Amino acid sequence: MAQRWSGVHASPVLCVGAAGGPDGLLASGAEGGEVAVWNQEGQPLAQLRLSGEEDVTCTAFSPTAPGLLYVSHGETVSVLDPRNLAGPVEELKNVGEDEINSLSVNETGTSLALGDDSGAVRVLDLQTGKVSRTLRKHTNICSSVSFRPQRPQSLVSAGLDMQVMLWNLQKARPVWTYSLQEAAEEEDGHQQRAGQMFNPPLAHCISAASCGNVLACAAEDGRVHLTRVGSGSRHEQQGGIKAHSQGASQAHFLSFLPHPYWLATGGNDGVVALWDLSEHPLVAGEGKGQGSKTKAAPAHRRKPKSKAKSKSQNQRDAQAEEEKTEKQQSEENLSGEASGIDPNQEKSTKTGPKLKFSHEDKVNWVCPVMLKGQPSLVVADQSSSLSVYSLAGL
């Protein structure tokens, strides 16, 4: 059973961030400019409503200075002191060209990356608070950005143009571009369920394992697309897991378990799952075919079919009845995957999730965190409270 943290937010919670360390604080952001700070026991320490009351879309702690919390709302990033939440320490106004969706601070705490609705990826020098680099290649909303661990000048981004891009901050063009759409079309063993045939792989969330070489991207087709980065930052391998019966909204690697390839995912099907990717061919270096070396799609190889700023709501509405009838079967498939007995499982997937929680509400955010020494997942959904799932026993 999940533990509930509530009584603070009046609006749906959109994002959660955690500071490092055994006593690290957590921060949640909600609609209407609401920000709250929590301790390890789930007690709210402070709350704040930001001026303008724009939705808080992302919260990110500095890895080198836990007393610095970066919060995105509208086109602004507010710098907060989570220990004294009286108001912003600094406001970095108009650093986004449009509404900001995602933030990432590099390991040295010197750079902050953001992705926004214009498709631009911007990098801020945190010593000056100024934009040091604007990276333009996405042709639709940039939904997620993440610095690669151990590589403070290397950044990955993902967007609703179905593209994953690797950037070196010394250059204005991506090192490579990987098309999730082309990958899905070219996979010989990939058979979509009927309810997913009309859900293109719009990229919602990108995460890098602590080794820096394995990337996971949650997409609208219900899959988590995996990429291995080889020496020289080349695109070396690709694969995926069939994670959710509806769109996968969240994918985050856990950095505090015995190996760096544990992945937490959440989806529109109300499922929160934990996967051990150390057994996946892309990570383990096993098998051929889908987990084999594959060239990255050239940056100009194919234009996305649609540039509309939509998260495929029309497609989902049109398929609502079909998805309803498919959902029960899909849930049974996921249950079968957990036992490793699903005959329709993708070739690239050796096992299903190690843990699966039926959250029963669309997942907005999943935040892996150590709480009082116990590995946990903090989940935000359409409600004004947070749910905490224990991973004890792994």
pLDDT given at position 266:
98
pLDDT given at position 160:
98
Please write the tens of the pLDDT for every residue from 264-293: 999 999 999 999 999 899 998 633 333 333
pLDDT given at position 198:
63
pLDDT given at position 187:
66
Residue predicted with more confidence, 339 or 230 = 230
Q: How confident is the model at residue 82 (pLDDT cuts 50, 70, 90)?
A: very high
Over residues 337-364, mean pLDDT:
64
pLDDT given at position 105:
98
- Separation between Cα atoms, residue 309 and residue 203, nearest integer Å: 13
Please write the tens of the pLDDT for every residue from 105-144: 999 999 999 999 999 999 999 999 999 999 999 999 999 9
- Is the pLDDT confidence value at 301 over 80? no
CB of 362 closer than 8 Å to CB of 268: yes
Output the six-digit token pair for 356.
């699966």
pLDDT given at position 135:
97
Q: Which of 158-167, 187-196, 256-265 has the lowest mean pLDDT?
A: 187-196
pLDDT given at position 293:
38
Determine whether domain 46-371 maps to CATH 2.130.10.10. yes
DSSP single-letter state for residue 117: T
Over residues 62-81, mean pLDDT:
96
Instruction: Calculate what percentage of the chain has a pLDDT beyond 70.
Output: 80
- Is the pLDDT confidence value at 226 over 90? yes
Q: How confident is the model at residue 351 (pLDDT cuts 50, 70, 90)?
A: low
Over residues 313-321, mean pLDDT:
43
Kindly list the distances between the CA atom of residue 228 and the CA atoms of 61, 168, 282, 294, 351, in Å, as whole numbers in the listed order. Answer: 26, 16, 7, 10, 19
Sheet holding 13-18, edge to edge: 13-18, 26-30, 34-38, 44-49
Which of these, 155, 116, 123, 154, lies nearest to 138 by C-alpha position?
A: 116
Three-state DSSP state, 206: strand
Over residues 238-252, mean pLDDT:
96
pLDDT given at position 185:
78
Q: How confident is the model at residue 74 (pLDDT cuts 50, 70, 90)?
A: very high
Over residues 236-263, mean pLDDT:
95
Sketch the domain layout of the chain as residue ranges. Answer: 46-371
pLDDT given at position 381:
97
pLDDT given at position 199:
84
CB of 161 closer than 8 Å to CB of 139: yes
pLDDT given at position 166:
98
Over residues 337-348, mean pLDDT:
33
Kindly list the distances between the CA atom of residue 207 and the CA atoms of 9, 157, 334, in Å, as whole numbers in the listed order. Answer: 27, 9, 22
pLDDT given at position 156:
98
pLDDT given at position 66:
86
- Is the pLDDT confidence value at 306 over 50? no
Q: How confident is the model at residue 159 (pLDDT cuts 50, 70, 90)?
A: very high
Q: How confident is the model at residue 1 (pLDDT cuts 50, 70, 90)?
A: confident
Output the six-digit token pair for 204.
């919602």
pLDDT given at position 196:
45
Q: How confident is the model at residue 369 (pLDDT cuts 50, 70, 90)?
A: very high
- Is the pLDDT confidence value at 336 over 90? no
- Separation between Cα atoms, residue 86 and residue 8, nearest integer Å: 16
Mean pLDDT (the chain) is 85
C-alpha 208 chain-centroid distance: 9
Over residues 311-325, mean pLDDT:
43
